[in-house]
Amino acid sequence: MCGRYAATLPPEMMVELFNLLNQIDFPPRYNITPTQPIAVVWEQSGRRTIQLVRWGFVPGWVKDPREFSLLINARAETMAEKPSFRDAVRNSRCIVPASGYYEWMKGKDGVRRPYYITMADGSPMVFAGLYSTWSGPDGEEVDTACIVTVEPNLEISSIYDRMPAMLTGENVDLWLNTRDIDTRAATQLALPLPAGSLKYHPVGKAVGRTDVDEPALIREMSAEELAAEDETRARKPKKAAAGGGQLDLF
């Protein structure tokens, strides 16, 4: 699952990297969470633009999005057959620019700790995504998107059993080209990156809070800081589990 990520690329850099026809003012984000606006790039009639959409895919055939499950990820292995995604795999593919993403790993002590994962060479990440435009009964329209996931590569397998499908080189262009690249060819682009492509480091648990979004979230924590954070957490009284069917992203 990819349920938290950071996107800090300047708007002008995204225009240059992805040959965009437009630019949007999107401030650096260090803790992007589901249901929030995310910047995605898609191509229509050969024209490539960047748009702000809701993270949480809603197929066009859904009658009431409030009663539909939150789809933040699509599994690459099954997306072409799933009713929710199959039309988007053929006609509505997008990319999601990112600087890095977070994943939680359970340690030997049973404690789950967040890690920040980036490209080993420091380059931007390009997640494969799918988008949809939902139209309401009163004519309102809402653009939504999700991130495609695949099995983990060697380094990520020690943290979690899934990872975002990341595109590099000409695969970015091929993924966006829904005119010439069909469903079968597109699914073959969504693959784990080769071993050695990524690096990661432990970060503070504040990233688990949806109300925190600051550069300090991606800073590598030292062993002493990690121990102090765990000790502080252990001293705090445990809160009663919240009710109401709250979705647990991790």
For the residues 1-7, what does the mean pLDDT come to? 90
pLDDT digits (tens, 9 = 90+) for 94-114: 999 999 999 999 877 778 899
The answer to whether position 168 is within a domain reads: yes
Q: Domain range spanning residue 150?
A: 5-235
Q: Whole-angstrom Cα distance, residue 167 to residue 94?
A: 11
The band of 238, judged by pLDDT with boundaries at 50, 70 and 90, is low
Please check whether residue 132 lies inside any domain of the structure.
yes
d(CA 130, CA 76): 11
Pairing outcome for strands 29-32 and 5-7 = antiparallel
Q: Once rounded to an integer, what is the mean pLDDT over residues 151-164? A: 94
Q: What is the CATH number of the domain that holds 51?
A: 3.90.1680.10
Q: Look at the chain and report how many structural domains it folds into.
A: 1
Per-residue model confidence as pLDDT tens digits over 41-73: 999 988 999 999 999 999 999 998 888 999 999
- Domain membership of residue 242 (yes or no) is no
List the 5-7 sheet strands across, edge first: 29-32, 5-7, 100-106, 112-119, 198-202
Q: What is the pLDDT of residues 173-228, one digit of tens each?
A: 999 999 999 999 999 999 999 999 999 999 999 999 999 999 999 999 998 888 88
In a domain, 190, yes or no: yes
Supply the pTM of this predicted model.
0.90
Q: Using CA atoms, how far apart are residues 105 and 162, in angstroms rounded to an integer?
A: 12
pLDDT of amino acid 66: 86
Q: Which two tokens stand for residue 77?
A: 């292995």
Q: Which of 13, 16, 17 is nearest to 168 (CA)?
A: 17
- The answer as to whether 13 is a domain residue is yes
Which residues, in sequence order, are bridge partners of residue 75?
149
Whether 248 is covered by a domain: the verdict is no
Q: How far from chain centre, in Å, is Cα 25? A: 20
Q: Would you place residue 234 in the very low, low, confident or very high pLDDT band (cuts 50, 70, 90)?
A: low
249 — pLDDT class (breaks 50, 70, 90): very low
- Is 166 in a helix, a strand, or coil? strand
Is 249 among the domain residues?
no
Residue 146 resides in a domain: yes
Q: Is the pLDDT of residue 1 over 80?
A: no
Catalytic residues: 2, 103
CA distance 167 to 57: 20
